Amino acid sequence: MRIALFVTCLADTLFPDVGKSTTVLLERLGHQVEFPQAQTCCGQMHVNTGYQREALPLIRRYVDTFERYDVIVAPSGSCVGSIRHQHAMVARRHGDPGLADRAEAVAGRTFELSQLLIDVLGIEDVGAYYPHRVTYHPTCHSLRLLRVGDRPARLLRHVAGLELVDLPDAETCCGFGGTFAIKNADTSTAMLADKMRNVLGTRAEVCTAGDSSCLMHIGGGLSRLRAGVKTVHLAEILASTRDGGETG
Amino acid sequence: MTTFLGLPAPPTAPRGVGHLRGSEPFPVAARRALADSQLRRNLNKATTTIRAKRAAVVAELPDWEELRAAGQAIKAETMRHLDRYLEQLEAQVQARGGTVHWARDAREANQVVTDLVRATGSTEAVKVKSLATDEIGLNDALAAAGITAYETDLAELIIQLGHDRPSHILVPAIHRNRAEIREIFLREMGDADPALTDSPAALAEAARLHLRRKFLSARVGISGANFAVAETGTLCVMESEGNGRMCLTLPQTLITVMGIEKVIPSWADLGVFLQLLPRSSTGERMNPYSSLWTGVTPGDGPQEFHLVLLDNGRTAALADQTGRQALHCIRCSACMNVCPVYERTGGHAYGSVYPGPIGAVLSPLLTGVQDNATLPYASSLCGACYDACPVKIDIPSLLVYLRARHVEEERQDRRLPSAEAVTMAAASWVMADPRRYTAAQRAGQSGRPLGRGGRIRALPPPLSAWTRARDAPAPPARTFRQWWRASGRDRS
């Protein structure tokens, strides 16, 4: 299957391994990955901070870039959530119903990674090997906007060597929230403290999730504490194999 | 917005009266609350308990989602024809011996109630279900007129005796624990037994003895209302303690202050909310006391009944096509009990009598966004409130909408854009074009030496707010798109 990758601006710029892993994983499963270079950002930060007018050109760019693909994947529940729940709404509110209709159509073909693997490609065992004790944090937008449910856990349970441990209060927000982490830094940090306490309580070596943004938050806190637990995106775990072939 | 459908825009709740506006921005008030370890512990314990109770009683109903959909539909229908249902309610209440008063705002409502109490010659009133009257600051207005109001709901009594502010719409004293309540009773009640312990039964008994004297002597009762059924003019108050039943039945005169959005069309509709509200609020299948009354019944209960219909910004909220769904709220408090922000900051940080997620949208809608400008941002948009809401108010989308309204109003009001607006516009300009975007990525990579071991420990403002408690990732040697080009995939 030909799959277009929307890598997200965050992974592109700060977490390239997440994009590489998504590419390598899908290629290993026999699919053709394309990376349209005209892509930039979904505009979620602008929309969620109140700057809808400024988000409009980014929404138009996303639609223009990905309209010609049948299947689009992004390694982020949050960005896909924005594409599905905000793009058309913003276009409509700013008097562009034509763009809104096109955005709705493209959004219907845009999938978060675990949804693509299980719902579109029909696969739960991706042949990965990752010999570590791992806990999974269900990010809010993948959980409550996209309803990915236990899909990521099902994928992780099939990973050879991986020991999956439950995260207490898993469904509570880590406190990231985009610009919330800056505007309400103290509250955000208080939420992060509880998330980190729960992660550390599992004695896992790795905390994983389907969003680089939330992992940047949790990982940034763990790193500051020198806690010795790292954050790794779901795509990176699923791309790992026994021969170490991860990101060629 | 100055006009609506060609008419002058409906007024928002006036300044200088009532409790819809805080005295400081949310982040400032939140910082102080976060440092209060006793508060953090009390809130965590209370919200954890009530969350578990709610989850259990909601899970046992096979048709919970259908009930939510019904609640949402009833409220949407009511709002669409609010004028009609309110006039029907008025006609039915008057036909059954009650009197209806229309109050445009807090000042008018306070004046109406004060005049009504004065007319009875009484200088005391007992109160229950005091949320709407707290919104308008009624107790202060009564006190200024020489009338003493006694709160009879246990939690409201704790707040009143402690010279405190409520911090939750259902459990106003949620920020207090048993030991603190005992101290307040001993200090303020005057008639509390010095040997009082902090067991819930002992505290309740002390309150009961204290309040019983007020009930038996009070000639005026003042209440709020959970629902008003338009087809018969019936008012409904749902409560747990029975103090409400005393307030609503013992005094000679009953005055009910109710927001105009509380009307529902019919008794069949009430059946839906009688199921939704207790499970969502206290986590009970049914609340212990549901009092319903219709006008005046000779020889039974209050012989004089006044209903004060309060607008105070509600019509302004109704005029906002996106925001109006906030008026569907039935004040169950499920959203605050599941909110990770509320659980850590408590209700006082919101500055309004309506805290938590619903307060963060309702308060700015009632006052105008400029008067509660930091509230729409007091959320990580995690969405837990939307899932818990018994009438399916999409609070996260409303928060995002109100942020946009705030930014647009700021844009109109300011001659110079804020630093944030400049940054956002620049980011949009960069991101709208892949060449500019790639150039910005390269510029960012020049910051690599800042990082040690791939981590940056300190960044300049405003990003310093991040690095105060969290490391930031250093830019990688190659961005994803640089790797993609180098991988030769596009050539094959």
pLDDT in tens, B381-393: 999 999 999 999 9
pLDDT tens per residue, range A37-74: 999 999 999 999 999 999 999 999 999 999 999 999 99
pLDDT of residue B4: 63
pLDDT of residue B171: 87
Cβ of residue A15 closer than 8 Å to a chain B Cβ: yes
Reduced 3-state DSSP string for chain A = CEEEECCCHHHHHCCHHHHHHHHHHHHHCCCEEECCCCCCCCCHHHHHHCCHHHHHHHHHHHHHHHCCCCCEEECCHHHHHHHHHCHHHHHHHCCCHHHHHHHHHHHHCEEEHHHHHHHHCCCCCCCCECCCEEEECCCHHHHHHCCCCCHHHHHHHCCECCEEECCCCCCCCCCCCCCHHHHCHHHHHHHHHHHHHHHHHCCCCEEEECCHHHHHHHHHHHHHCCCCCEEEEHHHHHHCCCCCCCCC
| CATH entry, A133-239, from 1.10.10, 3.40.50, 2.60.40, 3.40.190 | 3.40.50
CA distance A239 to chain B (A): 16
Per-residue pLDDT for A247 more than 50? no
Interface of B with A in 421-440 (CB under 8 A): 421, 424-425, 427-428, 431-434, 437
Chain B residue at shortest CA distance from A185 = B465
Nearest-by-Cβ selection for A37 from B30, B471, B481: B481
Nearest to B335 by CA among B374, B317, B314, B361: B361
Instruction: Provide the pLDDT confidence category of residue B450 given band limits of 50, 70 and 90.
Output: confident
What whole-number distance in Å separates Cα of residue B459 and Cα of residue B471? 9
pLDDT of residue B129: 86
pLDDT of residue B5: 66
Chain B residue at shortest CA distance from A65 = B434
Q: List CB contacts (< 8 A) between A38 and chain B.
A: 434
Q: Taking residues B473-491, what's their average pLDDT?
A: 94
Enclosing H/E stretch for B273: helix B267-281
Residue B331 falls inside a structural domain: no
Per-residue pLDDT for B491 more than 90? no
pLDDT of residue B492: 60
Q: Quick one: DSSP state of residue B338? A: H
Asked if B427 lies within 8 A of A45 by C-beta distance, the reply is: yes
pLDDT tens per residue, range A137-162: 999 999 999 999 999 999 999 999 99
Mean pLDDT of chain A: 97
Cβ of residue A49 closer than 8 Å to a chain B Cβ: yes
Cβ of residue B383 closer than 8 Å to a chain A Cβ: yes
Residue B356 falls inside a structural domain: no
pLDDT tens per residue, range A98-133: 999 999 999 999 999 999 999 999 999 999 999 999
Could you list the residue range(s) of the whole structural domain that residue B475 is in?
447-486
Q: Where are the domains of chain A?
A: 2-120, 133-239
Q: Taking residues B150-154, what's their average pLDDT?
A: 94
Residue B467 falls inside a structural domain: yes
CA distance B216 to chain A (A): 46
pLDDT of residue A193: 98
Instruction: Provide the pLDDT confidence category of residue B272 given band limits of 50, 70 and 90.
Output: very high
pLDDT of residue B270: 98
Range with the lowest mean pLDDT among B69-73, B116-120, B169-173, B399-403?
B169-173
Residue B197 falls inside a structural domain: no
Count the domains in chain B.
1
Q: Taking residues B124-129, what's their average pLDDT?
A: 94
Interface confidence (ipTM) of the complex: 0.97
Residue B468 falls inside a structural domain: yes
CA distance A207 to chain B (A): 16
Mean pLDDT of chain B: 95
Q: List CB contacts (< 8 A) between B476 and chain A.
A: 14-17
Interface of A with B in 129-158 (CB under 8 A): 140-141, 143-145
Instruction: Provide the pLDDT confidence category of residue B2 given band limits of 50, 70 and 90.
Output: low
Per-residue pLDDT for B355 more than 60? yes
Interface of B with A in 326-355 (CB under 8 A): 340-341, 344-345
pLDDT tens per residue, range B168-178: 988 899 999 99
Chain B residue at shortest CA distance from A231 = B473
Asked if B34 lies within 8 A of A172 by C-beta distance, the reply is: no
Per-residue pLDDT for A243 more than 90? no
Instruction: Decide if A156 contacts A162 (C-beta within 8 A).
Output: yes
Q: List CB contacts (< 8 A) between A184 and chain B.
A: 26-27, 30, 341, 377-378
**Percent of chain A whose predicted confidence (pLDDT) is above 90:** 98
